[in-house]
Amino acid sequence: MQRSKDGTLKNAVRLHDGLILESVLIPTKNRTTACVSSQVGCSLDCVFCATAALKRMRNLNADEIYDQVVAMDKQSKLYFKRSLSNIVFMGMGEPLLNYKNVLLAIDKITDPDGLAMSPRRITLSTSGIPKMIKKMADDKVKFDLAVSLHSARQEVREKIMPFANKFPLNDLSKSLAYWYQYTKKQITFEYVIWEGINDKKEDIHALIKFCHQIPSKVNLIQYNSIDDPSFKQANNSAIALYMNVLEKNNITVTFRRSRGKDIDAACGQLANKTQ
Ligand code: SF4
């Protein structure tokens, strides 16, 4: 376990076969959120993400995912004197590429004989796999959905998330409309603004158009360096411009400061550096 100066805890957990997963516990004034991994490494190739460099070593099974959460619930009680309040599937891996195990683990987390957590306190964050988003809607899941969007322009998104060439934004948008139709749950778009990549007015306008197709809100996330000089967080004025223009277009937008940066525990930084 490593402890950040902001209170965030990062765990490296050795599995029975020697592989290591990472999980992060993030305390705020009123909440303690567990950021949970679904795979060791990741099958996808987002170029800004340290986990991508590990490649996918294997899927976690449902018990490994559940145990990860139970361990963090114990940590939360020990260090912050309260149970976990929220869970986000935003750690290592793409949860929709390990769907069966993620769902089984969520069943246990929400079961009265398990942690009895409300599904409304659980968010699954995906890079956006249309077929699986529709499947979740068909399966009538009760948790929330976040999508790592980062660009609403196909050509830009393909550069930073190359797998997106197989999952065009049009298909993603249709699957999200389907999700909303069946779940009535608003979608959160996770979005980092990088200098010279997606900080232009045309990027903002594309995002507005995309958001207007589906009930949604935007969560701008501070970028965490992974030692790649081609990715630099946009300056404050670019972030302010995004926020202003989105708000003027009636889109709810929040800005999330990263936690645990000093111990490589922040979004996109999980890369088993503690090994
Ligand atoms: S951002 Fe998420 S989906 Fe993309 S490579 Fe990293 S862990 Fe995988």
Please tell me the distance between residue 251's alpha carbon and the centre of ligand 1 in angstroms: 25
Ligand 1 neighbourhood includes 94 CB (under 6 angstroms): yes
What is the mean predicted confidence (pLDDT) over 104-128? 97
Q: What percent of the chain has pLDDT over 90?
A: 81
Please give the pLDDT value at position 233: 86
Give 104: exposed, middle or buried? Use CB within 10 Å, 0-12, 13-18, 19+: middle
Question: Cα(120)–Cα(159) distance, rounded to whole angstroms?
Answer: 33
Ligand 1 neighbourhood includes 44 CB (under 6 angstroms): yes
Judged by average pLDDT, the poorest of 37-51, 96-110, 157-171, 225-239 is: 225-239
What is the mean predicted confidence (pLDDT) over 81-98? 96
Residue 275 has pLDDT above 70, yes or no: no
Structural Rg of the chain based on CA atoms = 18
The H or E element containing residue 105 is helix 99-110
Question: Cα(110)–Cα(116) distance, rounded to whole angstroms?
Answer: 4
Ligand 1 neighbourhood includes 46 CB (under 6 angstroms): yes
Please give the pLDDT value at position 226: 67
Note whether 53 and 108 are within 8 A (CB). no
* C-alpha distances out from residue 82 to 21, 23, 30, 243, Å: 24, 18, 10, 34
Ligand 1 neighbourhood includes 52 CB (under 6 angstroms): yes
Is 211 noted as a catalytic residue in this protein?
A: no
Give 30: exposed, middle or buried? Use CB within 10 Å, 0-12, 13-18, 19+: exposed
Q: Smallest Cα–Cα separation from 171: which of 200, 213, 140?
A: 213
Please tell me the distance between residue 52's alpha carbon and the centre of ligand 1 in angstroms: 6
pLDDT tens digits for range 142-165: 999 999 999 999 999 999 999 999
DSSP of 21-58, one letter per residue?
EEEEEEE-SS-EEEE--SEES-SS--TT-GGGGG---E
Residue 263 has pLDDT above 80, yes or no: no
Please give the pLDDT value at position 52: 82
Residue 194 has pLDDT above 80, yes or no: yes
Mean pLDDT of the chain: 93
pTM: 0.94
Residue nearest to atom 6 of ligand 1 (CA): 49
Is 49 noted as a catalytic residue in this protein?
A: no
Tokens representing residue 81 in the block? 């004197």
